[in-house]
């Protein structure tokens, strides 16, 4: 389950959406949540005790055993020394991607080797495209529309750091997107906003570096690179 009423774009309709969501949850024969925070949310929304359970999310590790990140980097025009930040999925306005892209372009010499790679679509797409058309944009911001899922491990492998650095929004408080498990399955450090659901699921460390928001992504990424905390996993093999 997810916090559906919070996704309604028109604030005036969220109240009605919440009533409908509560009704559906209360009448459901079974409510499954992929983490403890969503389970608590379901109970608060009227799920009946004994009919609400946690079915922990996971990922098929075999999909990441031989991903060829170097080939993808070559195709996208990234140099060996480029530091690639990666995001995939629906690009909500609160995803922080536009702020991160702008920080990369406006960072001067300190961010000259930083690249932002995004795969997906959503409301932030047009703003990212506008940044790409900036004279400094070039291949520093690479935006790909939806790709077949089978290709995604290669794109994650091609990156150095993965992102879930959203603005603090009600929608994000309790959820743990599946992309988090996929990022970590590929042995990538993840820069993520310190949100209750994420901290409860992953704790401290464990591959997740928490930030207060997208404004901290660029300096945090540069620090990770300077400290040598990036795994050389552009080509993954766990045989």
Q: Give the residue extent of every domain in the chain.
A: 4-54, 61-226
- Average pLDDT estimate for 201-222: 93
Confidence at 4, pLDDT banded by 50, 70, 90: low
Please indicate whether residue 119 or residue 239 has the higher confidence score (pLDDT): 119
Confidence at 139, pLDDT banded by 50, 70, 90: confident
Report which DSSP code applies to 185: H
Rounded CA separation 198/40 (Å): 14
CATH classification code of 61-226: 3.40.50.2000
- The DSSP element (H or E) to which 210 belongs, if any, is strand 208-211
Rounded CA separation 221/159 (Å): 12
Q: At what angle do helices 97-105 and 217-226 cross, to 10 degrees?
A: 60
The answer to whether the CB of 128 falls within 8 A of the CB of 141 is yes
- Average pLDDT estimate for 101-107: 93
Render 17-62 in DSSP notation, one character per residue: HHHHHHHHHHH-S-EEESSHHHHHHHHHTTPPTTSEEE------GG
């Amino acid at each position: 389950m997810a916090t559906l009423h919070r996704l309604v774009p028109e604030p005036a309709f969220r109240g009605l959406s919440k009533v409908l969501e509560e009704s559906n949850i209360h009448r459901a024969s079974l409510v499954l949540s992929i983490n403890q925070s969503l389970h608590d949310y379901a109970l608060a929304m009227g799920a009946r005790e004994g009919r609400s359970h946690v079915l922990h999310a996971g990922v098929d590790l075999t999909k990441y055993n031989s991903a060829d990140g170097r080939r993808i980097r070559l195709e996208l025009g990234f140099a060996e020394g480029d530091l690639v930040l990666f995001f995939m999925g629906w690009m909500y306005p609160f995803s922080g991607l536009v702020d991160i892209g702008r920080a990369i372009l406006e960072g001067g010499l300190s961010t000259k080797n930083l690249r932002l790679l995004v795969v997906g679509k959503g409301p932030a797409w047009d703003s990212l495209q506008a940044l790409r058309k900036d004279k400094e944009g070039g291949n520093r911001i690479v935006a790909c529309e939806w790709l077949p899922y089978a290709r995604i491990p290669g794109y994650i492998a091609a990156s150095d750091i993965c992102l879930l650095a959203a603005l603090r929004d009600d929608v994000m408080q309790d959820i743990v997107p599946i992309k988090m498990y996929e990022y970590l399955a590929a042995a990538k450090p993840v820069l993520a906003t310190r949100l209750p659901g994420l901290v409860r699921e992953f704790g401290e460390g464990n591959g997740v570096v928490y930030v207060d928001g997208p404004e901290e992504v660029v300096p945090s990424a540069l620090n990770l690179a300077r400290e040598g905390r990036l795994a050389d996993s552009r080509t993954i093999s766990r045989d």
